[in-house]
Amino acid sequence: MEGQQPSILSKPHSAAQFQSGLGFLPSVPLPDDIPPEPVGISDMANLFGVTHRTLHFYEEKNLLSASRIGLMRVYFHRDIGRMAVINTCRETGMPVAAIQDLMGELAEAASQMDAESLLNAALEDRKRELVSAQSLIMRQMQQINGLLTRADDNKDQPDVRIPDPAIDFNDMEHHCLSLMAEGYSQPRISRNMQLTPEAVQTLEQNIMRKLKATNRFQAVAKAVLLGLVAS
């Protein structure tokens, strides 16, 4: 029909095509062969290679929202767009709490450029976390290799050195560290603990000092390895 708009299903390229109505979505790849609306939960799970349980989990975290037609749970193209962003972030290992922050910021995005900038900033944060973790792992591997070599050279000489980090956190520091380990940003920790941003910054600095870490990501990695928080 003359003047008819082409279907968005013809050649979908990115989540930016499936704006959610709650702000703009950044350009991330979409699955092939997007089905017409409404999309059943099985089709949604198959599109992204996830389980029904995963979709329910994202709904519990307010990242995704299913609709109902009778007793059937269904999704629409805007939900596919959101899921594409969520899935992209999860594939980088981004914590759910960080994705929640990102999706909240995207809901307030004033333009497509803002949405792209927000995703890029979140990915840069994740990249810094991975670089920090990689550096820590390399140092620990070197330490282990050194210890194993020394053990081979001194099998008859007991090692009398007993590491004692003597790390003692107060309740507020431990709570703050637990939230850091869950991927909470400083503003979100501030809201959760009902503290000023300055107070949270001081807590994090104390934690990093006690763990002899150079940044918050390294502090979390050390705390997990020492069993101070759950991974």
Tell me which of 3.30.70.380, 3.40.50.1000, 1.10.1660.10, 1.10.357.10 is the CATH number of domain 15-115.
1.10.1660.10
Nearest CA-CA partner of 189 in 198, 180, 181: 180
Q: What band does 71 get if pLDDT is binned at 50, 70 and 90?
A: confident
Residue 196 tokens read as 């000023």
Question: What's the chain's average pLDDT?
Answer: 82
- pLDDT confidence of residue 22: 56
- pLDDT confidence of residue 103: 94
Percent of the chain clearing pLDDT 90 (strictly above): 42
For residues 45-74, give the mean pLDDT: 94
Q: What band does 162 get if pLDDT is binned at 50, 70 and 90?
A: very low
- pLDDT confidence of residue 44: 95
Q: Who contacts 50 (Cβ-Cβ below 8 Å, separation ≥6)?
A: 87
Task: In whole angstroms, give the CA distance from residue 33 to residue 48.
Answer: 12
What pLDDT, in 10s, does the model give residues 42-55? Answer: 999 999 999 999 99
What pLDDT, in 10s, does the model give residues 75-117? Answer: 999 999 999 999 999 999 999 999 999 999 999 999 999 999 9
Q: What architecture is the 167-231 domain classified under in CATH?
A: Orthogonal Bundle (1.10)
Q: Who contacts 165 (Cβ-Cβ below 8 Å, separation ≥6)?
A: 226
CB 155 within 8 Å of CB 134: no
What pLDDT, in 10s, does the model give residues 7-57? Answer: 333 345 555 555 555 578 999 989 888 999 999 999 999 999 999 999 999
Q: What band does 166 get if pLDDT is binned at 50, 70 and 90?
A: low
Each domain of the chain, given as residue ranges in start order, spans 15-115, 167-231
The separation between the first and the last C-alpha atoms of the chain, rounded to the nearest angstrom, is 57
Per-position b or e across 31-61, b if 16+ CB within 10 A of its CB? beebbeebbeeeebbebbebeeebbeebeee
